[in-house]
Amino acid sequence: MTEKPFASSADLADRQQTLEVLADGVYALTAEGDPNVGAIEGEDFLVCFEALATPVAARAWLERLREHTDKPVRHLVLSHYHAVRTLGASAFGADVIVAHDGTRKLITERGRQDWASELARMPRLFREPASIPGLTWPDVTFSDRLTIDLGGDRGELVLAHCGRGHTEGDLVAWLPRHRIMFAGDLVESRAALYTGDAFHRPWATTTLDRVAAFGAETLVGGRGAVTRGREAVEAAIGQTRDFLTTMLDRVGRVHAAGGTLKEAFAAAHAALEPRYGRWPIFEHCMPFNVSRLWDELSGVDRPVIWTAERDREVWNALQS
Ligand SMILES: [Zn+2]
């Protein structure tokens, strides 16, 4: 049998985690293509960005953060609803969990299914899955923008929704004083995009335009290394856009010509593989990405809910 192992189920090697101090009181933990997390110090409190997949995974991050600061976590900010970004929330003991309105809606509507789907797709990220107490519920949500005053002379942290993109409820966290952005999965730096719950057309155009308009000089994407310098940030946003427009072009052509999903997958894979094929999670993502884009081009407005069963069906149809 030459069948490809399902999604990332055979990916079991731990990634090296790197904690970087991006500015005074601004931290990022990157992990060679595994989900990134961050933290921002207020005058007498912390804002943490992203929660990882389980409380056990989150505690390992917090232990490293505690080498730098012992301030209590007041806010835990979730960039979007995906399980590997939210289910570790209980470890933070945050006073307030903050997310976009769309994230609360998605957790209500499909949080359970997404948990089961992601656990089966990426078991390595779920360290001690039994430590997850349940779904993570935001305490505060917003539609457009929410500003957190960091106190003292630390300036403010702006949370902004830039439109539909990686999901319908993404936010970015922006530190104007340092020109640092935490972009969640709206931008990846030398890591493949996951677009299985995405809105490709707005993401590739207006949403990324709004992300770029901040003019970040340091950017922490959802996965991959920290991007430093205006040019490198623009390149990371450009790479994200190129991935999306290539998919739109190749899948769109097959769709318009009355071809099949399998043909669309082959066309998109062939076009993207030379540039992105060796980046983390490329093979993992492609069947789910093309399947969602096919639906989008067919007029299905909101992504169909991924379940463990549907994941297998799509994988077997396209990657086997
Ligand atoms: Zn995501």
3-state secondary structure labels for all residues of 101-132: HHHHHHHHHHHHHHHHHHHHHCHHHCCCHHHC
In the prediction, which pLDDT does 4 show?
A: 79
Q: What is the whole-number distance in angstroms between the Cα of residue 220 and the centre of ligand 1?
A: 14
pLDDT for 2 equals 52
Contact criterion met (CB below 8 Å) for 286 and 195: no
Question: Can you list the residues of the chain whose pLDDT is less than 70?
Answer: 1-3
Report pLDDT for 190.
86
At 71-93, the pLDDT tens digits run 999 999 999 999 999 999 999 99
Tokens 């997949």, residue?
A: 53
Own/partner contacts of 95-98, CB < 8 Å, gap of 24 or more, are 96/139, 96/140, 97/136, 97/137, 97/138, 97/139, 97/140, 98/138, 98/139, 98/140, 98/141, 98/142, 98/146, 98/159
Give distance in angstroms: CA of 185 to centre of ligand 1.
5
Residue 153 C-alpha to ligand 1 middle, in angstroms?
33
Q: What is the pLDDT of residue 3?
A: 64
Q: Is 124 exposed, middle or buried (0-12, 13-18, 19+ CB in 10 A)?
A: middle
Between the CA of 90 and the centroid of ligand 1 the distance, in Å, is 19
Backbone CA torsion sign across 298, 300, 302, 303 = negative
The confidence score (pLDDT) of residue 1 equals 42
Question: CA-to-CA distance for 103 and 137, rounded, in angstroms?
Answer: 9
Separation of CA 163 and ligand 1 centre (Å): 15
Q: How far is the CA of 35 from the centre of ligand 1 (A)?
A: 9
What predicted TM-score, i.e. pTM, was given to this entire model? 0.96
- Tell me, in angstroms, the distance from the centre of ligand 1 to residue 44's CA: 30
The answer to whether the CB of 38 falls within 8 A of the CB of 58 is no
Ligand 1 geometric centre to CA of 82 (Å): 5
**Half-sphere exposure in the Cβ direction for 48 (13 Å, CA):** 31
Distance from Cα 166 to the centre of ligand 1, integer Å: 7
Ligand 1 centre and the CA of 281: distance in Å? Answer: 12
CB 50 within 8 A of CB 35: yes
- Name the residue among 230, 249, 251 with its Cα closest to residue 241: 249
Give the model's pLDDT for residue 219: 98
C-alpha distances in Å from residue 218, one per residue of 27, 87, 132, 175, 235: 12, 27, 32, 10, 12
Q: How far is the CA of 85 from the centre of ligand 1 (A)?
A: 7
Cα distance between residue 122 and residue 38, in whole Å: 21
For residue 266, report the distance from its CA to the centre of ligand 1, in Å: 24
C-alpha 86 to ligand 1 mean position (Å): 10
Are residues 226 and 22 in contact, defined by beta-carbon separation less than 8 angstroms? Answer: yes
Distance 78 CA to ligand 1 centre (A): 11
How many CB atoms sit inside 10 A of residue 195's CB? 27
Distance from residue 285's CA to the centre of ligand 1 (Å): 11
**In this predicted structure, what is the pLDDT of residue 12?**
74
Ligand 1: centre distance to CA 222 (Å)? 8
